[in-house]
Amino acid sequence: MKEAILHLEKADIYQRDSLVLSQVNLRLNKGDFYYLIGKTGSGKSSLMKTLYGDLLLRKGKGSIVDFDLPTLKEKDIPFLRRKIGIVFQDFKLLNDRTIYDNLIFVLKATGWKDSGKMKTKIYEVLEKVGMKEKYYKKPFELSGGEQQRVAIARALLNDPELILADEPTGNLDPKTSLEVMELLNEIHQSGKTILMATHDYALIVKFKQKTIKCEGGEVFEVVQQAVI
Protein backbone atom coordinates (compact mmCIF):
# COMPACT_ATOMS: atom_id res chain seq x y z
CA MET A 1 0.00 0.00 0.00
CA LYS A 2 1.22 3.51 -0.84
CA GLU A 3 2.33 5.86 1.90
CA ALA A 4 -0.44 8.18 3.18
CA ILE A 5 0.64 11.82 3.45
CA LEU A 6 -2.75 12.98 4.66
CA HIS A 7 -5.46 10.92 6.26
CA LEU A 8 -8.79 11.86 7.77
CA GLU A 9 -11.26 9.39 9.18
CA LYS A 10 -14.71 10.34 10.40
CA ALA A 11 -13.38 13.84 10.97
CA ASP A 12 -15.76 16.63 11.94
CA ILE A 13 -14.67 20.10 10.83
CA TYR A 14 -15.87 22.99 12.97
CA GLN A 15 -15.83 26.77 12.71
CA ARG A 16 -16.32 27.83 16.35
CA ASP A 17 -19.44 25.92 17.41
CA SER A 18 -20.83 25.23 13.96
CA LEU A 19 -20.22 21.94 12.30
CA VAL A 20 -19.12 22.74 8.73
CA LEU A 21 -18.26 19.25 7.45
CA SER A 22 -19.10 15.99 9.13
CA GLN A 23 -17.57 12.53 9.02
CA VAL A 24 -14.90 13.43 6.50
CA ASN A 25 -12.89 10.52 5.15
CA LEU A 26 -9.95 11.48 3.02
CA ARG A 27 -6.65 9.95 2.05
CA LEU A 28 -3.89 11.44 -0.07
CA ASN A 29 -0.97 9.21 -0.88
CA LYS A 30 2.52 10.38 -1.68
CA GLY A 31 2.51 11.91 -5.16
CA ASP A 32 -1.26 12.47 -5.40
CA PHE A 33 -2.76 15.67 -6.81
CA TYR A 34 -6.31 16.39 -5.70
CA TYR A 35 -8.58 19.31 -6.39
CA LEU A 36 -10.96 20.36 -3.64
CA ILE A 37 -14.06 21.99 -5.07
CA GLY A 38 -17.39 23.22 -3.75
CA LYS A 39 -19.55 26.30 -3.65
CA THR A 40 -18.71 29.38 -1.59
CA GLY A 41 -19.19 28.59 2.07
CA SER A 42 -19.19 24.83 1.54
CA GLY A 43 -16.18 24.36 3.81
CA LYS A 44 -13.09 24.13 1.58
CA SER A 45 -11.07 26.68 3.55
CA SER A 46 -12.24 25.23 6.86
CA LEU A 47 -10.96 21.83 5.77
CA MET A 48 -7.66 23.34 4.65
CA LYS A 49 -7.31 25.26 7.92
CA THR A 50 -7.86 22.08 9.90
CA LEU A 51 -5.11 20.41 7.89
CA TYR A 52 -2.54 23.11 8.59
CA GLY A 53 -3.45 23.45 12.24
CA ASP A 54 -5.35 26.74 12.13
CA LEU A 55 -8.52 24.98 13.30
CA LEU A 56 -8.39 22.13 15.79
CA LEU A 57 -9.68 18.71 14.87
CA ARG A 58 -12.05 18.05 17.75
CA LYS A 59 -13.70 14.85 16.58
CA GLY A 60 -12.47 12.00 14.44
CA LYS A 61 -9.04 10.86 13.38
CA GLY A 62 -6.54 12.74 11.27
CA SER A 63 -2.88 12.73 10.41
CA ILE A 64 -0.82 14.85 8.09
CA VAL A 65 2.87 14.37 7.28
CA ASP A 66 3.27 12.30 10.46
CA PHE A 67 1.49 14.77 12.75
CA ASP A 68 -1.56 13.57 14.61
CA LEU A 69 -4.22 16.28 14.23
CA PRO A 70 -6.48 15.55 17.25
CA THR A 71 -3.52 15.78 19.64
CA LEU A 72 -1.76 18.65 17.84
CA LYS A 73 -0.47 21.24 20.32
CA GLU A 74 0.18 24.93 19.72
CA LYS A 75 3.91 24.31 20.01
CA ASP A 76 3.79 21.63 17.28
CA ILE A 77 2.30 23.96 14.68
CA PRO A 78 5.56 25.60 13.50
CA PHE A 79 7.04 22.12 13.01
CA LEU A 80 3.98 20.96 11.08
CA ARG A 81 4.19 24.09 8.88
CA ARG A 82 7.79 23.24 8.01
CA LYS A 83 6.63 19.98 6.49
CA ILE A 84 3.81 21.45 4.46
CA GLY A 85 3.93 24.33 2.01
CA ILE A 86 0.88 26.59 2.07
CA VAL A 87 -0.19 28.82 -0.80
CA PHE A 88 -3.03 31.32 -0.36
CA GLN A 89 -5.28 33.20 -2.75
CA ASP A 90 -3.98 36.57 -1.55
CA PHE A 91 -0.27 35.60 -1.58
CA LYS A 92 0.38 36.88 1.97
CA LEU A 93 3.76 38.41 1.18
CA LEU A 94 5.20 41.14 3.42
CA ASN A 95 5.05 44.39 1.46
CA ASP A 96 7.63 46.24 3.53
CA ARG A 97 10.53 44.07 2.35
CA THR A 98 12.04 42.59 -0.77
CA ILE A 99 11.28 39.15 -2.16
CA TYR A 100 14.67 37.99 -0.89
CA ASP A 101 13.90 39.30 2.60
CA ASN A 102 10.42 37.72 2.54
CA LEU A 103 12.07 34.38 1.97
CA ILE A 104 14.90 34.84 4.45
CA PHE A 105 12.31 35.81 7.05
CA VAL A 106 10.63 32.41 6.63
CA LEU A 107 13.91 30.52 6.69
CA LYS A 108 15.02 32.23 9.92
CA ALA A 109 11.61 31.68 11.47
CA THR A 110 11.89 27.98 10.69
CA GLY A 111 15.29 27.56 12.26
CA TRP A 112 17.80 28.16 9.48
CA LYS A 113 21.06 29.79 10.68
CA ASP A 114 23.75 29.46 8.01
CA SER A 115 23.55 32.53 5.76
CA GLY A 116 25.35 30.84 2.84
CA LYS A 117 22.90 27.94 2.87
CA MET A 118 19.95 30.33 3.14
CA LYS A 119 21.16 32.29 0.12
CA THR A 120 21.61 29.12 -1.94
CA LYS A 121 18.15 27.88 -0.98
CA ILE A 122 16.47 31.20 -1.79
CA TYR A 123 18.01 31.35 -5.27
CA GLU A 124 17.14 27.68 -5.83
CA VAL A 125 13.42 28.17 -5.11
CA LEU A 126 13.24 31.49 -6.99
CA GLU A 127 14.86 29.84 -9.98
CA LYS A 128 12.31 27.04 -9.84
CA VAL A 129 9.44 29.52 -10.17
CA GLY A 130 11.20 31.76 -12.70
CA MET A 131 11.65 34.72 -10.34
CA LYS A 132 15.39 34.70 -9.61
CA GLU A 133 16.04 37.98 -11.43
CA LYS A 134 13.47 39.87 -9.35
CA TYR A 135 14.78 38.96 -5.89
CA TYR A 136 15.38 42.64 -5.01
CA LYS A 137 11.85 43.84 -5.80
CA LYS A 138 9.14 44.43 -3.23
CA PRO A 139 5.86 42.52 -3.62
CA PHE A 140 3.89 45.61 -4.67
CA GLU A 141 6.30 46.06 -7.59
CA LEU A 142 5.26 42.67 -9.00
CA SER A 143 2.19 41.51 -10.90
CA GLY A 144 -0.30 39.19 -9.20
CA GLY A 145 1.06 36.19 -11.09
CA GLU A 146 4.62 37.06 -10.10
CA GLN A 147 3.58 37.47 -6.47
CA GLN A 148 1.94 34.06 -6.55
CA ARG A 149 5.13 32.56 -8.02
CA VAL A 150 7.06 34.02 -5.10
CA ALA A 151 4.46 32.65 -2.69
CA ILE A 152 4.93 29.23 -4.28
CA ALA A 153 8.71 29.61 -3.94
CA ARG A 154 8.16 30.42 -0.27
CA ALA A 155 6.07 27.26 0.12
CA LEU A 156 8.97 25.23 -1.29
CA LEU A 157 11.66 26.61 1.04
CA ASN A 158 11.60 23.73 3.49
CA ASP A 159 11.21 21.10 0.80
CA PRO A 160 7.75 20.04 2.02
CA GLU A 161 6.22 16.70 1.11
CA LEU A 162 2.77 18.26 0.79
CA ILE A 163 1.54 21.53 -0.70
CA LEU A 164 -1.84 22.89 0.41
CA ALA A 165 -3.01 25.54 -2.03
CA ASP A 166 -6.19 27.43 -1.12
CA GLU A 167 -7.56 29.09 -4.28
CA PRO A 168 -4.05 29.86 -5.60
CA THR A 169 -5.43 31.29 -8.85
CA GLY A 170 -8.40 33.08 -7.26
CA ASN A 171 -6.92 36.57 -7.74
CA LEU A 172 -5.37 35.97 -11.16
CA ASP A 173 -6.56 36.49 -14.72
CA PRO A 174 -7.13 33.36 -16.88
CA LYS A 175 -3.76 33.48 -18.66
CA THR A 176 -1.80 34.01 -15.47
CA SER A 177 -3.86 31.30 -13.74
CA LEU A 178 -2.79 28.91 -16.45
CA GLU A 179 0.88 29.76 -15.92
CA VAL A 180 0.61 29.30 -12.16
CA MET A 181 -1.18 26.01 -12.72
CA GLU A 182 1.57 24.83 -15.05
CA LEU A 183 4.06 25.66 -12.33
CA LEU A 184 2.06 23.67 -9.75
CA ASN A 185 1.96 20.77 -12.21
CA GLU A 186 5.74 20.85 -12.60
CA ILE A 187 6.08 20.82 -8.83
CA HIS A 188 3.72 17.87 -8.68
CA GLN A 189 5.74 16.04 -11.32
CA SER A 190 8.87 16.60 -9.26
CA GLY A 191 7.27 14.33 -6.65
CA LYS A 192 5.24 16.57 -4.36
CA THR A 193 1.76 15.79 -3.11
CA ILE A 194 -0.75 18.59 -3.73
CA LEU A 195 -4.22 19.44 -2.45
CA MET A 196 -5.63 22.49 -4.19
CA ALA A 197 -8.94 24.17 -3.35
CA THR A 198 -10.33 25.92 -6.38
CA HIS A 199 -13.35 27.46 -8.07
CA ASP A 200 -11.60 27.53 -11.40
CA TYR A 201 -13.44 24.97 -13.52
CA ALA A 202 -11.53 25.93 -16.66
CA LEU A 203 -8.35 24.72 -14.97
CA ILE A 204 -9.97 21.56 -13.65
CA VAL A 205 -11.13 20.66 -17.13
CA LYS A 206 -7.78 21.48 -18.74
CA PHE A 207 -5.57 19.80 -16.14
CA LYS A 208 -7.47 16.71 -15.10
CA GLN A 209 -6.74 15.41 -11.62
CA LYS A 210 -8.64 13.52 -8.98
CA THR A 211 -11.30 15.73 -7.43
CA ILE A 212 -13.10 15.88 -4.12
CA LYS A 213 -16.10 18.04 -3.43
CA CYS A 214 -17.56 19.73 -0.35
CA GLU A 215 -21.35 19.77 -0.53
CA GLY A 216 -24.15 19.63 1.99
CA GLY A 217 -21.72 19.30 4.88
CA GLU A 218 -19.97 16.31 3.38
CA VAL A 219 -16.83 15.60 1.39
CA PHE A 220 -16.80 13.02 -1.37
CA GLU A 221 -14.78 12.11 -4.46
CA VAL A 222 -16.35 13.02 -7.80
CA VAL A 223 -15.66 11.86 -11.32
CA GLN A 224 -14.64 14.52 -13.83
CA GLN A 225 -17.97 14.58 -15.72
CA ALA A 226 -19.77 15.38 -12.48
CA VAL A 227 -17.44 18.20 -11.48
CA ILE A 228 -19.54 21.08 -12.82
From candidates 10, 41, 66, 108, binder to ligand ATP by CB under 6 A? 41
**Does the footprint of ligand ATP cover residue 50 (CB under 6 A)?**
no
Hey, CA dihedral for 204, 215, 222, 91, is it positive or negative?
positive
- The interface region with ligand ATP, picked from 42-50, 129-137, 177-185, 200-208 by CB under 6 A, is 42-50
Q: Is residue 198 close enough to count as binding ligand ATP by CB under 6 A?
A: no
Residue 38 within binding range of ligand ATP, rule CB under 6 A: yes
**17 counts as binding ligand ATP under rule CB under 6 A:** no
Residue placing its CB nearer to ligand ATP in the complex, 41 or 78 = 41
> Which DSSP category does 223 fall into?
-
Q: Give the residue among 26, 31, 33, 21 at the shortest CA–CA distance from 64.
A: 26
The dihedral sign for the CA sequence 215, 216, 222, 227: negative
Range in contact with ligand ATP (rule: CB under 6 A) among 40-48, 72-80, 133-141, 179-187: 40-48
Strands 18-29 and 4-15: antiparallel
46 binds ligand ATP (CB under 6 A): yes
Check residue 134 and report its DSSP letter. Answer: G
- Give the number of other Cβ atoms within 10 Å of residue 136's Cβ: 10
What residue ranges bind ligand ATP (CB under 6 A)? 15-16, 20, 38, 40-46, 214
